[in-house]
Structure 1
Amino acid sequence: MAYGTGVFKWIRQPALGVLARLCWVGKCQHTGAMTSAVIRKQFSADPPEHISRYPVPYKKDLPYDIVELMEEVETKGGFLPNVFKVLAHRPSEFRAFFAYYNALMNKETGRLTKVDRELIVVATSIHNRCLYCVVSHSALHRIYSKNPTLADQVIVNYESAQLCPRDRAMLDFALAVCRSDTITDSHFQELEVHGFDREDAWDIAAIASFFAMSNRLAHLTDMRPNDEFYSLGRVPRDKGKGEGEAPVRANLTELKV
């Protein structure tokens, strides 16, 4: 649910294809008769662990486009991020959520890299005390940046993290938006010193704002991170598993985690 050619080389389907399916509103319902053998195997029952205080829908009761997306994510990634399961409680909002996520996090214009975007999510989500987003987006930051420690430093205290001046200015602005500080021209001037223009400022603010909503939905639902996120980007890939982490990186970075 984002960045660098090293990640996108694993992606088999363009983001536009994903968005097309997300916006395909209820053309048909997913039923037992329509379910493929693969989907039946993967989605026959709700997960046994607690991941939300709201009911997680049975896949047979969800619109087909949502089930198709879930099936693709789990097949390519090796696991289905819990955010898919939790937000499927409201299918129309599920589609809107992931469409906006893709518009913000997978865009290829502007000066923000995919590493930048994930770092903004981590810094603002820790301010909002969101366990799910901190854990999942820290994993994405480690994968994109190939830096296994920086996200952890930001989680503890971004002001003491080993950030370059550009990244510190970016996070200062993101946190100002996150805290609902009064934004003045001085905020934009500080960003401009470090190479960001007004459109980049919008991107930084939009990511901080979107994840403020995401953080609060995670609070409401008591959304729990998948165990897999804790080790992603920290441990070497297990060569014995062949494709292993590569598809996980591809899918989770293209879609929402």
Structure 2
Amino acid sequence: MTTISWLAVPDDASAPEGVRKLWQKSGANLGFVPNVFRAQALNGDQFLAWWAYFNLLVNKDGFLSPADREMLAVVVSGANRCVYCEVSHGAALRGLLADPVLADVVAVNWRHARLGAREAAMCAYAEKLTLSPAEMTEADLTPLRDAGLSDNAILELVQVVGMFNLTNRVSSALGFVPNAEYHAQHR
């Protein structure tokens, strides 16, 4: 069996009931249980709290489209060099864009992708917030507003970027390995 984390990973028998239910649901919906779900389940209550907020930001209707959120995940994860999130969210972006080449270019270097002004402004903001958070100023919001983002959408963008910075650090710090299924998805 491939090691998916540098820490212990609970099995079905030792995982808390709420975690097992989420694993079952994800297995039914995706056809597999994401390794990030298994690796973080060591602390079940913390994992479920993380999942509740992650799910709210990434999977529920909001002010940004699902493709926007996955694009932000890919840009942040690329800037942080987070293998798990770059691979898993790269797969999701390929599916949402229905253009695997564009999704792969965004993952490698979003500046080389054929993005509109709105998407480019979001990527630039996400990258700056990820790499230079102490340098953020109110003026950084101007390109987002000029591209048509409302204050609600900007707040959601910031929250999504923050969530992926958190998740990238946990995944990278503990050596999370992406599921093999992600590599072939939507190609």
| TM-score when normalising by structure 1 | 0.70
CA RMSD in angstroms, aligned pairs only: 1.2
Three-state SS of the structure 2 residue aligned to 1:149 is helix
2:138 corresponding residue in structure 1: 185
- Equivalent residue in structure 2 for 1:210, among 163, 168, 187: 163
- Listed as ranges, the gaps of 5+ residues in structure 1 are 1-47, 235-257
Q: Tell me if 1:172 matches 2:124.
A: yes
Measured after TM superposition, the shift of residue 210 of structure 1 is 1.0
Measured after TM superposition, the shift of residue 177 of structure 1 is 1.2
CA contact (8 A) 1:74 1:80 kept: yes
Q: 1:185, 1:224 → 2: CA distance?
A: 37
2:44 corresponding residue in structure 1: 91
Q: 1:72, 1:168 → 2: CA distance?
A: 35
- Equivalent residue in structure 2 for 1:121, among 64, 73, 92: 73
- Residue identity over aligned pairs, in percent, reads 32
- Listed as ranges, the gaps of 5+ residues in structure 2 are none
Q: 1:169, 1:139 → 2: CA distance?
A: 22
Higher helix share: 2
Q: 1:160, 1:206 → 2: CA distance?
A: 25
Measured after TM superposition, the shift of residue 155 of structure 1 is 2.1
CA contact (8 A) 2:94 2:104 kept: no
Q: Tell me if 1:143 matches 2:95.
A: yes
CA contact (8 A) 2:6 2:175 kept: yes
Q: Which has the larger radius of gyration?
A: 1
CA contact (8 A) 1:188 1:198 kept: no
Q: 2:80, 2:123 → 1: CA distance?
A: 14
CA contact (8 A) 1:118 1:137 kept: yes
Three-state SS of the structure 2 residue aligned to 1:178 is helix
Measured after TM superposition, the shift of residue 198 of structure 1 is 1.8
1:31-50 matches, cutoff 5 A: 48-50=1-3
Q: 2:146, 2:112 → 1: CA distance?
A: 21
1:58 corresponding residue in structure 2: 11
2:147 corresponding residue in structure 1: 194
Q: 1:185, 1:75 → 2: CA distance?
A: 44
- Equivalent residue in structure 1 for 2:108, among 153, 156, 167: 156
Q: 1:173, 1:73 → 2: CA distance?
A: 31
Q: 2:111, 2:117 → 1: CA distance?
A: 11
Measured after TM superposition, the shift of residue 181 of structure 1 is 4.7
Which aligned segments of 4 or more residues in structure 1 are displaced greater than 6 angstroms? none
Q: 1:117, 1:76 → 2: CA distance?
A: 20
1:207-246 matches, cutoff 5 A: 207-234=160-187
